Structure 1
Amino acid sequence: MTQTLDAALASRFAATALGHVTREYPNHIMHVLTGPQDARTPRDMHPIFFGSFDWHSCVHGWWTLFTLYRLHPGMAEAPAIRVLADDLFTAEKVMGEAAYLARPEARGFERPYGWAWLLMLAAEVERHDTDEGRRWAEILRPLAGIFADRFKAFLPLADYPVRTGTHYNTAFALRLTLDYADVHDPDLAALCRDAARRWHAEDRDCQAWEPSQDEFLSPALMEAVLMRRVLSPDDFAAWFDAFLPALSEGRPASLLTPARVSDRADGKIAHLDGLNLSRGWCWREIIAAFPVGDARRAIGARAAAAHLDAALTHVTGDYMGEHWLASFALLALLEP
């Protein structure tokens, strides 16, 4: 399969996302009930992000749609994206999303994965230099502000990183958040960089005991991607060589070898397709820090291609993967 975001692939991803961002059921809700009055439907709790099986997948489903709409405005799905965005991204519905977050029980809702994706979405919408784009961006800003403030309150309390390969991974969250914060919130950007250095500056000789059975992120490579964003090129090169000192010898082999996905109808096992996609993204980001001809660049390029070849054909086909994998495929195919 092609490893570039051509018009045909953009259209395929857009059609897939349009098919699930308003699909309310099945739905996996993360919701604390304090009494029977809190038994509510996904659409009632989340007037914008009620589809795509869960809240965070709906958020990054919309990131996928807005990104493709900007990059391929002539695709057949563009009018449907525009109409649906105008229907859902309204001040009233943003207020509904904010009202849910104001519940005391929602303090940790979607932390940190959903927080970061919402800010990634906001950063994308802010790139749309059109009348409709500016309207959508203005409408979304209050919600982005809520999550930026949550990060500002949380990061000073976060003494330790979370290195798991699932939604709680803090390196992934900070890497996405910096796409928003570097442009729109310098105070948050400074906090993200400070946290990254506190957590990871002294990490050495990563063993990369991965993958686990349901990971969709590489704990090792996500850390490297974050540090590439945080450090100067020279400092990153030195850090990376200490972090993965045996890379030139093909070790850890686990980071260079795509994961096997034994059952794509199993939602957790299907995470491994996401791992292959996100590793492809990570390797492409990492090698962009090194000059052409550098051995590290060649090793990473081969690993990126292998991981994308293993996963791109499986982005659609079963809803357990289909409701979210296009976002990770798109991350991997964008220019680093």
Structure 2
Amino acid sequence: MLSGFAEITLGHIGREWPYAPNAVLAGPEDLVAPRAHHPIFYGSFDWHSCVHSWWQLLTIRRLEPDGPAAARIGELATARFTADNVAGEVAYLLRPASTGFARPYGLAWALALHGEACRHAEGWGATLEPLARTIAARLTDYFGKLTYPIRVGTHFNSSFAMILSLEWARTYDPALAATIERRAREWFGEDRACQAWEPGGDEFLSPVLTEALLMSHVLPAADFAAWFDAFLPDAEWGQPVTLFTPAHVSDRSDGKIAHLDGLNLSRAWAWRSIARVLGEGHAVSGVALGAAERHVAASLPHIADDYMGSHWLPSFALLAVGVG
């Protein structure tokens, strides 16, 4: 299964076109091919998808070091992760017009990529460190000054980026970790009886479950169980029903509608992770694991149906099946 995910991603990690830049153009000089701005992350349709596609490939290489894709992944990473290429990526982020670029979703994934790269012996982590440090400083400032959390189920979601960033920061940047933990408690600590009005038509994250998953990383296990019971008091009965029901994807060639496959996969990841923290004795754990299986079954068979999904869904599939 993992080698299948890798093969899909190896087919687009260096595919430059089509490309969605999602950037502010400061002038006509910015109208250039993607790799001119992004010497590492120019493939996979957009910058953030390329970043987490690399995270996925390195993760699979670590999990299956003798797998059919491992050697190719290593060769590509060594060719792409060079000091000059990293300097090019950092330079782009430091442009005045790039203040909000890939914030927070892509930036958080870049921290996750650096953390994974550090688990490999080839020195990729050290090479990528200047990029990670630049991003960490930016996210520390951003989370510190953001007045209210962003609760949508798309790239701007605060909780998802905080989950990825916190895992990295606890090892590499205690100041960022402290900022995330403080803001999570301030923003979400008193949330109760969530109504779960989701999904939106183009969401690939559950605002409700990403918030809960973040709090499972921030609070001690017993405190999290108490918080969760107040946040979703009817979850043991499968309510709100929308959180336990996979989203229907009507057109996988539509890039926005295809996001719903990502929602199913990210919900599966969240439910599985929450059940693990709650423990087998909690009334919600079995219900949560059942929901995870239904969500995986709804979307895992479709991750390669169309390029609008295949350029990013294998990363979320890796999360959904509980490895990584």
TM (norm. structure 1) is 0.95
User: RMSD of the TM alignment (CA)?
Assistant: 1.0
Corresponding residue of 1:333: 321
| Separation in 1, partners of 2:124, 2:119 | 11
SS at match of 1:179: helix
Kindly provide the amino acid, as one letter, of the partner of residue 49 in structure 1.
F
> Structure 1 residue 12 and structure 2 residue 4: aligned?
yes
Corresponding residue of 1:86: 78
Q: How do residues 294-305 of structure 1 correspond to structure 2 at under 5 angstroms?
A: 294-305=282-293
Q: How do residues 115-264 of structure 1 correspond to structure 2 at under 5 angstroms?
A: 115-128=107-120, 130=121, 132=122, 135-264=123-252
Q: In the alignment, which of 30, 41, 62 is matched to residue 38 of structure 1? A: 30
| Separation in 1, partners of 2:17, 2:318 | 24
Gaps of 5+ in 2: none
Report deviation, 1:170.
Answer: 0.3
Residue-by-residue CA offset, 1:115-135 (whole Å, 9 max, x unaligned): 10000101111122x2x1xx1
| Separation in 2, partners of 1:142, 1:35 | 27
| Separation in 1, partners of 2:26, 2:56 | 34
| Separation in 1, partners of 2:88, 2:225 | 45
SS at match of 1:240: helix
Kindly provide the amino acid, as one letter, of the partner of residue 149 in structure 1.
A
| Separation in 1, partners of 2:135, 2:259 | 25
Aligned residues: 324
SS at match of 1:148: helix
Residue-by-residue CA offset, 1:106-153 (whole Å, 9 max, x unaligned): 01101000110000101111122x2x1xx1111000000000000111
SS at match of 2:277: coil
| Separation in 1, partners of 2:237, 2:130 | 49
Report deviation, 1:34.
Answer: 2.4
2:12–2:44: 8 Å Cα contact kept in structure 1?
yes
Residue-by-residue CA offset, 1:3-52 (whole Å, 9 max, x unaligned): xxxxxx11111111111110000000022222211211101010000000
2:296–2:321: 8 Å Cα contact kept in structure 1?
no
Corresponding residue of 2:40: 48
Kindly provide the amino acid, as one letter, of the partner of residue 191 in structure 1.
T
Gaps of 5+ in 1: 1-8
Q: In the alignment, which of 41, 47, 67 is matched to residue 59 of structure 2? A: 67
Corresponding residue of 2:102: 110
Report deviation, 1:248.
Answer: 2.1
Runs of 4+ in 1 over 4 A off after TM superposition: none
| Separation in 2, partners of 1:297, 1:152 | 34
Kindly provide the amino acid, as one letter, of the partner of residue 328 in structure 1.
F
Q: In the alignment, which of 274, 279, 282 is matched to residue 291 of structure 1? A: 279
